[in-house]
A and B are shown apart, each in its own frame.
Chain A
Amino acid sequence: MIDVNYSAGRLSFSHVLGRGFIYGCLIFCAVIYMMPFLIMLSTSVRPLAEIKSGTIIAFPREITFDAWTKAWGEACIGTKCSGLSSHFWISLKVVIPSVLVTTILGVLNGYALTKWKFRGANLVFGLMLLGCFVPFQAILLPMAQTLGVFGISNTPFGLALVLTLYGIPFSTLFFRNYYVSIPDDLVKAATIDGAGFFSTLWYIIVPLSPPIIVVNIIWQFTNMWNDFLFGASFSNGDGQPVIVALNNMVNTTTGVKEYNVDFAASIIAALPTILVYVVAGKYFIRGLTAGSVKG
């Protein structure tokens, strides 16, 4: 690895100037990038009166968490005024099982497609890849009909099923591309040692998979949690996931526009994805580059 802080010879003036310029640019970009979030954060802790009396971009003079409690438990969504909380739990109920199932299926698919190459494995993989490129708008109507036939329209289960189905192609892609870099000889050795399909998977492959499992979980969780289209199409009323509920809450007009409540609600809705990234982010980056560099 090259140490960027090391350079032979004296630190010249132009060198320092160049460094300063680079860091200046970086800090500037970081501030611009963080600005909207910081404004949201500051607005969410300001009382509504203060916001209305001044401009929307300002530091809070008085800090209050009223907007947060209101967004969580009291804000009106349509005619019902009980905040985002119930929708938040629905999202968790829909997303967590979907993420788990796509991960497990991704492991199985990737493993079978790379280590137990059957006739036509590449064709199957190609078709699954195609699934990554299906425009979701195109399948809304047939999917709605299908859910109707199975009697699971407008249920969290139905929504979870749709999210899972459309998560599988990406999970398969992730795991397949990770597993091609695992030497086939490991599987051969395990076969001779007497391990079959599942015991090789369990004892050899899965222990090598944490980086890509983390990548997959972050990717799927973020996508499923932030999904709006399927949530808006295949759920209604109390069964709506938090992102759809957030949209409806912001659009529910009760006279005054409560910016602080709207912003607090947005942050609440975004919190789980931020949390997932903070907890697992370093594995995410590691996993994305794993395989390109030999450990």
Chain B
Amino acid sequence: MATLNISDIRKSYGANVILNGINIDLEHGDFLVLLGPSGCGKSTLLNMIAGLESIDSGEVSIADRVVNRVHPKDRDIAMVFQSYALYPNMTVGKNITFGMQRRKIPKAEQEKALSHVAGLLQIENLLDRRPAQLSGGQRQRVAMGRALVRDPHVFLFDEPLSNLDAKLRGEMRTEIKRLHQRLGATIVYVTHDQVEAMTLATQVAVMKAGEIQQYGPPQEIYAKPANMFVAGFIGAPAMNFIPATVTVDDAGGYGLIIQQSDARGGDICLSLKDYETSDLSRYLGHEVILGLRPEDISRYIQNGAAAPDDIFTCQVDVVEPTGADTLITISLGGKAVTARFPPKHAGTAGDEIVVHFNMIEASLFDAKTQDRI
């Protein structure tokens, strides 16, 4: 049974197209993260699922029921707002039970649900306070409590953590993940933070300008981004984009040439024998963009065995220790390229080092369309 199905949703304000044909299909227990830069239409989409915003065309169904014309309160959803939207005049307890009170649920049942949720979120001692007397993290919990108490078909979260400081955000992220695992609920979660997307999601929809760029499990989006926008948006530091030319060797295997302007070692040749698209004849002699994540560039240390392919010498420009890893910047094809090394491999700026490109993890993008090849 599809828990949430969205087909070809469109929305414009006047001549401004906000959402341009969105399709989503969620099973029970899925955690979908809508990820994209601000202004790309994530909140609009979420509000349309909630019924707070009208739908120009397309269909939203929740639990196999088309809800386009169903009032928000009857859609069996609960929502957590970025601003928390706690009712300032009500105590925490009242905030959480207000929805049940409007639905005329018996008092005893309300009390039971309230104490259950308060226990779940560890806010039992806050129930008599007003929102103004709470810290940011506590407000966040109350906002989640208000949603959890409903036990709805779908939870909607609109950037719930973006008003918290970094440490608290990390803690609440873990907490949300734990809640999801424990309750097995279906969640649609909006964020512009790719770390939240990677850590929480079972499915990620990367959005840009009202369109879904890529839809899939986070690891797949990370490893095989559908285009340069997705590749650049996910991962920090971002994926390296290196201009290169496709060639073919004597044996008929494809390779890449990166032109090095400085004298050292001349042009760099990389093998594409493991690349997922085996027929690159279309691109032969043309420029493409090689996408390689910082962790797929490592330092090659001579150890007696035969040297692997795809190694070359270069100079370290900048060394940035971050604790667990050290970020190294080298210059390649006229572009700064970032690599993530274990600190003991880092060396110092100015060192000549041999690096290895793990081409199994490489992505190739069409230089014009920016789409994955």
Contact = CB atoms under 8 A, between A and B. Distances in A.
Contact of A195 (B52, B81, B102): B102
Contact of A192 (B79, B83, B89): B79
A191 B72 CA distance: 7
Interface of A: prevailing SS: helix
A285 interface: no
Given A183-B83, A185-B83, A193 B73 contact: yes
B288 interface: no
B81 A194 contact: no
25 contacts: A185-B81, A185-B83, A185-B85, A186-B85, A186-B87, A188-B47, A188-B50, A188-B81, A188-B85, A189-B79, A189-B85, A189-B146, A191-B72, A192-B73, A192-B78, A192-B99, A193-B99, A193-B102, A194-B73, A194-B99, A194-B102, A199-B102, A204-B87, A208-B88, A295-B132
A190 interface: yes
Contacts of B79: 188-189, 192
A195 B98 CA distance: 9
Contacts of A295: 132
Contacts of A190: 87, 98
Nearest to B87: A204
A255 interface: no
A192 B50 contact: yes
Contacts of B98: 190, 193, 195, 203
A207 interface: yes
Given A183-B85, A204-B89, A295-B132, A188 B103 contact: no
Interface in A214-259: none
Contacts of B103: 194
A183 B52 CA distance: 15
A204 B89 CA distance: 7
Nearest to B74: A194
Given A194-B73, A194-B99, A199-B102, A189 B132 contact: no
Contact of B52 (A188, A193, A199, A204): A188
Contacts of A185: 81-83, 85
B135 to A, nearest CB: 16
A137 B294 CA distance: 78
B270 interface: no
B230 interface: no
Interface of B: prevailing SS: mixed
Given A188-B47, A203-B87, A204-B87, 10 more contacts: A185-B81, A185-B82, A186-B87, A188-B52, A190-B87, A191-B52, A191-B72, A192-B50, A194-B99, A208-B89
A233 to B, nearest CB: 43
A256 B87 CA distance: 64
B77 interface: yes
A203 B99 CA distance: 12
Interface residues of B, number: 21
A189 B52 CA distance: 10
A189 B81 CA distance: 8
Contacts of A199: 102
A129 B86 CA distance: 32
Contacts of A192: 50, 52, 72-73, 77-79, 99
A185 B53 CA distance: 12
Nearest to A210: B89
Interface in B37-77: 47, 50, 52, 72-73, 77
A186 B131 CA distance: 13
A195 B99 CA distance: 8
A207 B89 contact: yes
A207 B89 CA distance: 6
A192 B75 CA distance: 9
B14 to A, nearest CB: 13
Contacts of A203: 87, 98
Contacts of A195: 98, 102
User: Which among A192, A193, A203, A204 has the highest number of chain B CB atoms within 10 Å?
Assistant: A192
A204 B73 CA distance: 17
Nearest to A204: B87
Interface string B101-119: 0110000000000000000
Nearest to A193: B99
B9 to A, nearest CB: 19
Nearest to B98: A193
Nearest to A295: B132
Contacts of A191: 52, 72-73
A288 to B, nearest CB: 20
Nearest to A183: B83
Nearest to B143: A189
Nearest to B97: A193
Interface in B105-151: 132, 146
A192 B77 CA distance: 8
A191 B98 CA distance: 11
A183 B131 CA distance: 14
Interface string A85-119: 00000000000000000000000000000000000
A183 to B, nearest CB: 6
A204 B72 CA distance: 18
A199 B102 CA distance: 9
Nearest to A209: B89
A189 B77 CA distance: 11
Interface string A195-215: 100010001100110000000
A189 B87 CA distance: 9
A12 B322 CA distance: 54
B81 to A, nearest CB: 5
A230 B57 CA distance: 54
A194 B47 CA distance: 16
A241 B82 CA distance: 53
A295 to B, nearest CB: 7
A224 to B, nearest CB: 29
Nearest to B88: A208
